[in-house]
Amino acid sequence: MNTLLHRCRAQLPHTCAGPDLIVLQPWGPVAPSAGKVPWCRWDGLPAHINSLAQRAYWELLSHRRDQSIVALGRSGAGKTTCCEQVLEHLVGLAGSVDGTVSVEKIRATFTVLRAFGSMSTGHSRSATRFTMVMSLDFSATGRVTAAQLQTMLLEKSRVARQPEGEGNFEIFSQMLAGLDLDLRTELYLHQMRDSTSFGMGVWSKPEDKQKAAAAFAQLQGAMETLGISGSEQRAIWRVLAAIYHLGAAGACKVGRKQFMRFEWANRAAEVLGCEYEELNRATFKHHLQQIIEQVKSGLSRRGLEDEETSSGLKMTGVECVEGMASGLYQEVFAAVVSLINRSFSSHHLSMASIMVVDSPGFQNPRHQGKDRAATFEELCHNYTHERLQLLFYQRTFVSTLERYREESVPVQFDLPEPSPGTTVAVVDQNPSQVRLPAGGRAEDKGLFWVLDEEVRVEGSSDNVVLERLCAAFEKKGTGAEESSALRACEQPLQCEIFHQLGQDPVRYDLTGWIHRAKPNLSALDAPQVLHQSKREELQSLFQTRAKLPPICQAVAGLEGTSQQALQRICAMRKTFASSLAAVKRKAVCTQIKLQMDALTSLIRRSQLHFIHCLVPNPVVESRGRQGSLTPPHLGVDKPRAGGPQAPDIPALRVQLAGFHILEALRLHRTGYADHMGLTQFRRQFQALDPPLMRSLMSASEGTDERKVCEAGLRHLSLEKVNIVIRHKTAAEATHRPGAKW
């Protein structure tokens, strides 16, 4: 038997509501003095974000349970800034066992991550383009023992292709502006191409180039703080320079697949420390590359045939070069993550961890006043965001109501509708893996599955993908628009997904998506080029990645020595192992879903805290666009003046409603804010009244629990505490205090 004590809300006037924290940026998406964030609220009180960090820390110490802090919100709402602040605060508050983890190193990590993983977009000057979990491990005495960074879902295709008006990863412009002359000459960057390569090295004003050079100096300082040696840094610049040369080399658009400008391709090979022919083969001649590898590893011809079939549509020369560039970038990014982890690793024993999760924010071109439809990459970021939102929904509403029901606690509250699961299903529903909603059909697959299937069908097209999607998810008839999660637009190959619980629909253009879902064999061959480099510094930097199973290639940070780190790595690998067939098929879209599954499986067992970041005054919310259904509250066009602006109330309403914030507050007020098991109650109140605790102890061994508890609580003047007696669930029965769930 297990007694649970519910504290009434009336006794807890200061507890936080369902959403742990709502952060409102005072200055809008771009700070007036970028870099110096005014960390104060409207009323000038100290920022609340530190209180949330503190609460997670105390929960970790008192329950000995892992904690996760997840930031949610639109792109540019301040999630990364919040995550950095949380981590800095935790490290400053708890202190480190031996100085392995320090506030300076956390800052340096974010400087490095911003350079390698962010870019300037219409939403933000530094928009994150990957998802990360930064874990801090704590000892039993509450000090930080180690940290580990894991990253996934890097938008690597950005290296070669950017939407109009948006930039490449910041590191390229920083490096091209800031490298010293000697290194520049060594890497053949002293003489740049007239036209830009992959959109790199473009500065609209001379000051921008100066700023980029200053940022590069800062980045080098941060890398030194993290113990990244000069030779490791040079190895990184070599790969980045090679990507630049590949962009300059380009590919012939007609005839044989080959580089268009031989001399630039030759430079790429030289800085990578390989022969031109090797690079040429890895980029264009995958068939030959596979034969060589299979002869080396002694595999049969059968495996080769599978590979050929899985390549689906034929790749063009341009796609080959782009794939090689993005594959190289993924490897360099992973190497940077593992260097950061090296700097934070230790062998000290840890009790539990706090994981901080940051991901690219929700994005809709309409927020920037743009008329274009969203891209496949934007869909992937929106999917990531909604998967995390679904976690919030399940924790805040589904689990809480389930607990009330199990414990027969009367609470008048209906599960809010719709759930973020509705739009998540449009993207990743697989009828063979889930119970279908009423009326659902076995062939109603989500976009990712449809794309992975169609890419293997000879002669299939984007149109077929859209048709299958509409047949599965578009509802027709009266009132369909309110309940549908998707609708086809008037424009060809376009559809609208009703994200954010229908509050913020995004119009997508599916042109070329079937090509996006195609495994890019050049990208898959890129690691080989690095592993076989003749340059020692490259070899030593990338050899450790060579030992990783290829299924985990897209996830970085799968190295670590401490017990906590190994547990996290194990949780991630398990997810990929569960869908080995898709991984073997190199199914691109399924792997996006698997990366998200890996992230959720990592944090699901921990106690979750959410930070909802809101943008108070988005650039422009556009009115009634062609082909898109704009809710009336979005139809506000506002001129933007300099300085702080008054908040845009309709836009804020959309964000609040899109998160179910008010419902979460309502459940918090009508339900019971806190609950506590008998064991924990005993631990917490032991010192207050030892005789009461003794009687509670005996109560759990068979006497009338309720009466003893009531008497005891009266004695402690806690009459409003609600006592529920119930049998332990199977999970609780196997749970040992202090052990992980």
Ligand X SMILES: Nc1ncnc2c1ncn2[C@@H]1O[C@H](COP(=O)(O)OP(=O)(O)OP(=O)(O)O)[C@@H](O)[C@H]1O
Instruction: Let me know the angle formed at the C-alpha of 119 by 345 and 192, rounded to the nearest 5 degrees.
Output: 105
**Integer Cα distance of 568 and 146 in angstroms:** 13
Q: Does 123 bind ligand X (CB under 6 A)?
A: yes
For residues 101 and 565, the answer to whether their CB atoms sit within 8 Å is no
Each residue 128-157 as x (binds ligand X by CB under 6 A) or -, in order, gives x-----------------------------
Looking at beta carbons only, is 38 or 92 nearer to ligand X? 38
**Of the listed pieces 54-62, 72-80, 455-463, 535-543, which binds ligand X according to CB under 6 A?**
72-80
Is residue 80 part of an annotated ligand binding site?
A: yes
Span 568-627, contacts to ligand X by CB under 6 A: 613
**Integer Cα distance of 232 and 542 in angstroms:** 10
For residue 581, give both structure tokens.
Answer: 């067939």
Is residue 316 part of an annotated ligand binding site?
A: no
Looking at beta carbons only, is 126 or 350 nearer to ligand X? 126
Dihedral (Cα; 171, 174, 177, 180), 10-degree rounding: -90
Q: At what angle do helices 170-178 and 103-117 cross, to 10 degrees?
A: 100
Tell me how far, at minimum, the Cβ of 361 lies from ligand X, in Å.
3
Pick from 3, 102, 126, 628 the residue near ligand X by CB under 6 A.
126
For residues 350 and 342, the answer to whether their CB atoms sit within 8 Å is no
SS3 194: coil
Looking at beta carbons only, is 167 or 361 nearer to ligand X? 361
**Of the listed pieces 124-132, 624-632, 680-688, 699-707, which binds ligand X according to CB under 6 A?**
124-132
Total residues at interface with ligand X (CB under 6 A): 26
**Integer Cα distance of 343 and 57 in angstroms:** 23
Is residue 77 part of an annotated ligand binding site?
A: yes
Tell me how far, at minimum, the Cβ of 645 lies from ligand X, in Å.
12
Helix (H) or strand (E) holding 494: strand 494-497
Tell me how far, at minimum, the Cβ of 118 lies from ligand X, in Å.
7
SS3 479: coil
Pick from 6, 79, 105, 609 the residue near ligand X by CB under 6 A.
79
Dihedral (Cα; 653, 656, 662, 667), 10-degree rounding: 170
Is residue 74 part of an annotated ligand binding site?
A: yes
Span 276-305, contacts to ligand X by CB under 6 A: none
Span 392-451, contacts to ligand X by CB under 6 A: none
Tell me how far, at minimum, the Cβ of 218 lies from ligand X, in Å.
15
Helix (H) or strand (E) holding 657: helix 649-659
**Integer Cα distance of 508 and 363 in angstroms:** 12
Looking at beta carbons only, is 75 or 368 nearer to ligand X? 75
Q: In what order do the strands lie in the sheet with 494-497?
A: 486-488, 494-497, 506-509
Tell me how far, at minimum, the Cβ of 362 lies from ligand X, in Å.
8
For residue 609, give both structure tokens.
Answer: 């805290």
Helix (H) or strand (E) holding 724: strand 722-726
Pick from 5, 72, 77, 179 the residue near ligand X by CB under 6 A.
77
Span 667-706, contacts to ligand X by CB under 6 A: none
3-state secondary structure 559-615: CCCCHHHHHHHHHHHHHHHCCHHHHHCCCHHHHHHHHHHHHHHHHCCCEEEEEEEEC
Looking at beta carbons only, is 360 or 505 nearer to ligand X? 360
Pick from 19, 73, 247, 557 the residue near ligand X by CB under 6 A.
73
Span 21-40, contacts to ligand X by CB under 6 A: 25-27, 29-31, 34, 37-38
Is residue 75 part of an annotated ligand binding site?
A: yes
Pick from 75, 368, 562, 591 the residue near ligand X by CB under 6 A.
75
Tell me how far, at minimum, the Cβ of 82 lies from ligand X, in Å.
7
Tell me how far, at minimum, the Cβ of 358 lies from ligand X, in Å.
7
Query: What number of helices (H) and strands (E) belong to the chain?
Result: 30, 14
Each residue 330-369 as x (binds ligand X by CB under 6 A) or -, in order, gives ------------------------------xx--------
Where along the sequence are the contacts to ligand X (CB under 6 A)? Answer: 25-27, 29-31, 34, 37-38, 73, 75-81, 123-128, 360-361, 613
* Feature table: binding site for ATP: 73-80
